[in-house]
Each structure stands twice: as structure tokens, then as C-alpha cells.
Chains A and B, each alone.
Chain A
Amino acid sequence: DAGVIQSPRHEVTEMGQEVTLRCKPISGHDYLFWYRQTMMRGLELLIYFNNNVPIDDSGMPEDRFSAKMPNASFSTLKIQPSEPRDSAVYFCASSFREGQPQHFGDGTRLSIL
């Protein structure tokens, strides 16, 4: 299996631009998670899906962030408009069941100038 695939690996854009991060989970995994990692706050859960349905989005910072999972093999995390404080590494992970080991993608390093 190819593992969890994220794209792009790096993104540099200017403040105010729309940013879309993409994730393909491992086939057969019912849970998909989006995390953000910063030096100040460490790893934080943003949102997670079960069977394509958002279950908990309490970690989403504000209305500028949105996430979708249109099917079992694809999810997006969108920031619009982006701000410099959104600069972080964003990880996607998937797991077979709730509480089971999660498989992480390589992350997207986002820099907002």
C-alpha cells in the first residue's frame, strides 16, 4: 500500500490567497484526520471524518478553514483567505477504526508570506 498521500509537500503563497491541501487516505480506512503542527502549539487535531462524514471540527481555528471529504479516497483542507499565522505543517492521517494506530502522511509545509 502506498500509505497516506498528501499534496503538495510544500506550499508558499501570499497572504490573502486561497490554499487547498489534499489527502488520499489508505484504502479501507474509515477515519481521516487533519492535524496542524507548529513550534508553539505542537500537534493539534483540526477535524476528523468517519465514513466521509465530519465528526468533530472543534479544532478548526475559524471560519477561514474548511474541510471536505467528497468520497472515501479524497479529502481537502482549504484556507481562505490565508494569513501568516496559518504557516505550519499540516498532516493528514487515516486509521481503520477509532482509537486504532493512525498512519500519517508526509505532511504539507505551508508558508504564508
Chain B
Amino acid sequence: KNEVEQSPQNLTAQEGEFITINCSYSVGISALHWLQQHPGGGIVSLFMLSSGKKKHGRLIATINIQEKHSSLHITASHPRDSAVYICAVSSYGQNFVFGPGTRLSVLP
């Protein structure tokens, strides 16, 4: 069993839709990270969280430590949100273990 799993693997949405990407993990962590990889390949860190919820613009990330689960939400999705979203976890004394990524396509 992979340490970090994501669902769905692929997601196609219409512009304006509310999007949710899920991440579950099986190890103890100190923090969970959401990364965005654009079609050109560049990787950007979106959120780092260890509890609760964080919001940045149209993006919201939540984490439930007891259930070992995190969600990334995108409100009012836009074609420019099309990218691969990667969940990664870090543990004390270790570093990132990555999920397989969720490929999001937002159609105009």
C-alpha cells in the first residue's frame, strides 16, 4: 500500500465548478503539503498545513489528522487552474513522500 494516495487520478470540470481533490496517508506526519505542477513542468508549493484549514484566494486546504486525510478545494474553477495537484507528507526526521498526483483539466 502506498504511503500517500490521491483521488481522483484525473478530473475534468467545467469552468466555474467547485472542485475537490482528496489525499489520504498511512504514516504519522508533521505536516502535509499541496503542490501544483503546471503543464510547463514548474512546481509551486500551495499550502503547508498540520491542522485545520487554510485559504488562499480560491483555494482551500483542510486536514483531519485523526482520519489521516486532507482535501484541496478550488472554488469557481478556471481553465488556468488546469495542472497536476500533488499531495506530499513530511515526517519528523524525514522529508517529502509524494502522492501520485491528480491531473485537473478545467474546460472553458
User: B-contacting residues of A (Cβ < 8 Å)?
Assistant: 33, 42-45, 48, 56, 89, 91, 93, 98-104, 106-107, 109
If A42-B101, A43-B86 touch, does A102 touch B96 (CB 8 Å cutoff)?
yes
B48 within 8 A of A: yes
Asked whether A45 lies within 8 Å of B96 as measured between CB atoms, the reply is yes
Asked whether A106 lies within 8 Å of B41 as measured between CB atoms, the reply is yes
Shortest Cβ-Cβ A-B pairs, 10 listed: A104-B43, A101-B45, A43-B98, A99-B90, A101-B48, A99-B31, A99-B30, A42-B100, A107-B41, A106-B42
Once the chains are docked, how many angstroms separate the CA of A30 from the CA of B98? 21
- Please give 15 more A-B residue pairs, beta carbons under 8 A apart, in addition to A42-B101, A104-B42: A42-B99, A42-B100, A43-B86, A45-B95, A45-B96, A48-B95, A56-B95, A89-B41, A99-B90, A101-B33, A101-B45, A102-B33, A103-B45, A106-B41, A109-B41
Residues of A within 8 A of B33 (CB): 101-102
Asked whether B95 lies within 8 Å of A33 as measured between CB atoms, the reply is yes
Instruction: Give the nearest-CB partner of B40 in chain A.
Output: A106
Once the chains are docked, how many angstroms separate the CA of A100 from the CA of B45? 10
Asked whether B98 lies within 8 Å of A98 as measured between CB atoms, the reply is no
Counting contact residues on chain B (CB < 8 A from A), the size range is: 20 to 34
B27 within 8 A of A: no
Partner of A56, one of B30, B88, B94: B94
If A99-B30, A101-B33 touch, does A42 touch B98 (CB 8 Å cutoff)?
yes
B44 within 8 A of A: yes
Once the chains are docked, how many angstroms separate the CA of A43 from the CA of B41? 12
Which of B41, B86, B100, B101 has most A Cβ within 10 Å? Answer: B41
**B10-35 residues at the A interface, CB under 8 angstroms:** 30-31, 33
Residues of B within 8 A of A109 (CB): 41
